[in-house]
Structure 1
Amino acid sequence: MTLTLRTALALLAAIALLGGCERGRVPEAASGRRAEPGATEPTQAVARLVDDLRRNDLAGYARHAVPPALHAQLEIAWAQGRTRWPLTELPLDDRLPGFLAALATPGSERALLATYDRQFAGAHGELRSAAATLGLFGVQYLRAESDYSDDERNHYVQLVGALSQWGKRAPLGDPKRARSAIPLLAAAARRTGLAGEGGFARTGMTRSLQRLGPFFASFKQVLVGYGLDVDAALAGAEVTVAEQDGNRAKVRLRYTLAGQRIDALVRVERLQGRWYLSDALRHAQVEARGPAPAATP
């Protein structure tokens, strides 16, 4: 389906913006793991990341999105508090630690459901209007934001349009669904073990992403209940080469999300015999060089 983690996880942010699993121990990173073969064809660079997201393998996504040397730099930058890549690809990434903490707090289900009942239960018209408004503002933001390439911007505009149309018909004000979704997300947040001050820093990049994978799966499960099947979109993605010139190529990505057909172009490039998404590389390189923050979450 989507090209970068920012795009894919925007789907998961939709419920939170509009108002709104796996169980057991998450395996830790194995020591001495063999190096994995890289993408030897342009389409493989996209298809592998799509598969990682479909399988909720965020640590795998991070390994496959960048060359090993850059991945090692990002691990160090994470440990030093200079980045939370690839979580920085998320909308509102700075809110994620607080979001997890709020869900993981003992008794959060009762408090969050009470808030939902006061503000959103039965407010179908207001939530549909909010979805339409967010769609308009989202497109305006994307067109003005200089951090995106033209290809990213074109893709994200299509994505925001599809999500806005979904939000206008999704049952976001249904209390029955909320009473199922909130406890599911709260339990998944607790299982990450990342809630609380310093959770991400203590755990490190790879293990944090491993622990977030089941939370990602639970969020996708919640979205299915609201009529948005992320995994179906991922599974139905079509990836073909649009053009290629030496070490650079354009890959066409087509998928259907919430009934809307998305047709996007992705730039990829070959480094040391392996293909990577150009925009993902650019974002990761910026994050690896990032300055230390004033305070580490």
Structure 2
Amino acid sequence: MIRFPNLRALAALLLIALALVACRRDPPAEDASTVPGSPVAAVEAQAQALRANDLVRWSRLGLPPELHARTEALWNRRLAEATPPDPEEAREYADMMSRLMAPDAEQALLRDIEPKLVEFETEIAGQWPLMQATAGIFLNAAIEANTELSASEKSHGQELVSTLLGWAQPALFTDRARAREAIAALSATARELDLPTLEDARALEMMPAMEKGGIALAGIKQAAKAYDMDLDASLDGVEAALVSREGDRARVKVSYPLLDETISFEMDMQRVGEGWYSADAIRQAEADLAEAGPDPAEQSANPNAEPATTGAGSAD
């Protein structure tokens, strides 16, 4: 597979798009610790955080406080227990970041990928319709087979695949001016991140990692604009509406524009205390914590302690 720095950024963008929860953009009235009091307001608050590239706030609004604290503790525990990175992966990462952070990165990287762009034009462009169809079959099958996704998430992902494959045309990715603009955005982002080694990146605790993630998100948005994909415009243009609510459960429909299409999906929301959160996010966080098991250090310090629970299914 031909691997371009700009295509890597677009791949990251697609992952973010799959997790997009967006709505109308209004100036946020809450601070980072305020919990929205309705299902629609909860979706709106997370969308505003994404629009502002504030992943610290986005993460805090994404889970009930107690569950967020346990998730952060697990992140940091795994950080302390992690083995050193694979030497080859570390070398590749350091080489990539060194090239992106170099003073002449834009010119050097564009020069380096020029032969690959030519190869793409001559060898792949003619086969693109078949490759496009094959990619659609493969990606949709992978989404359908993913047991961690809900039915709504699968439908959303498959709708995204259809839209994005229709947009991904060879002429778009071989345009030198677009490549230059994307590389410049990625280079500036790498310098601002200032994580020259894989050890540096993997040493970040959860909240510092979210801060760096906000920088990366802003850079990915900028790089994607070179290819006519404006994620901020999608966040500005989408709407959220309450479909149903019964007690501590609700369902919200979210629609947003992407590449001249309108993408819609529904998400289940769950009330915990005074706040509303994605039911799938709660389920996935609890499953991750259950799989990880208790912290050995805490268990040895307090062997009679009962395992913590979120109380996610209860109301105030």
Deviates more, 1:188-197 or 1:113-122: 113-122
Percent identity of paired positions between Structure 1 and Structure 2: 28
CA contact (8 A) 2:224 2:230 kept: yes
Q: Are 1:49 and 2:46 an aligned pair? A: yes
Is there any run of 5+ residues in structure 2 with no aligned partner, and where? 1-8, 16-30, 81-88, 294-316
Within 5 Å, give how 1:1-297 maps onto structure 2: 12-14=12-14, 36-81=33-78, 101-106=94-99, 107=102, 109=106, 112-121=109-118, 123=121, 125=125, 128-129=128-129, 130-168=131-169, 171-291=172-292
CA contact (8 A) 2:93 2:198 kept: no
**Equivalent position of 1:3 in the other structure:** none
What is the RMSD computed on CA atoms of the aligned residues?
3.0
Counterpart residue identity of residue 80, structure 1? R
CA distance in 2, matches of 1:170, 1:61: 35
What is the TM-score of this pair, normalised by structure 1?
0.75
Relative to structure 1, the CA distance from residue 265 to residue 101 in structure 2 (aligned partners, 3 Å threshold; closer, same or farther) is farther
Deviates more, 1:100-109 or 1:167-176: 100-109
CA contact (8 A) 2:179 2:226 kept: no
What is the TM-score of this pair, normalised by structure 2?
0.71
- Count of aligned positions: 254
Displacement after TM superposition at 1:71 (Å): 1.4
SS at match of 2:37: coil
Deviates more, 1:240-249 or 1:37-46: 37-46
SS at match of 1:276: strand
Relative to structure 1, the CA distance from residue 109 to residue 14 in structure 2 (aligned partners, 3 Å threshold; closer, same or farther) is farther
CA contact (8 A) 1:103 1:186 kept: no
Runs of 4 or more consecutive aligned structure 1 residues displaced over 6 Å after TM superposition: 96-100
CA distance in 2, matches of 1:169, 1:216: 25
SS at match of 1:244: strand
CA distance in 2, matches of 1:237, 1:99: 38
Relative to structure 1, the CA distance from residue 200 to residue 172 in structure 2 (aligned partners, 3 Å threshold; closer, same or farther) is same
Displacement after TM superposition at 1:178 (Å): 1.2
SS at match of 2:244: strand
Relative to structure 1, the CA distance from residue 198 to residue 234 in structure 2 (aligned partners, 3 Å threshold; closer, same or farther) is same
**Larger RCO: Structure 1 or Structure 2 (Cα < 8 Å, ≥ 6 residues apart)?**
1
Is there any run of 5+ residues in structure 1 with no aligned partner, and where? 1-8, 16-33, 84-95, 293-297
Counterpart residue identity of residue 78, structure 2? G
CA contact (8 A) 1:103 1:185 kept: no
Deviations 1:267-288 (A, max 9, x none): 0010112100011222222333
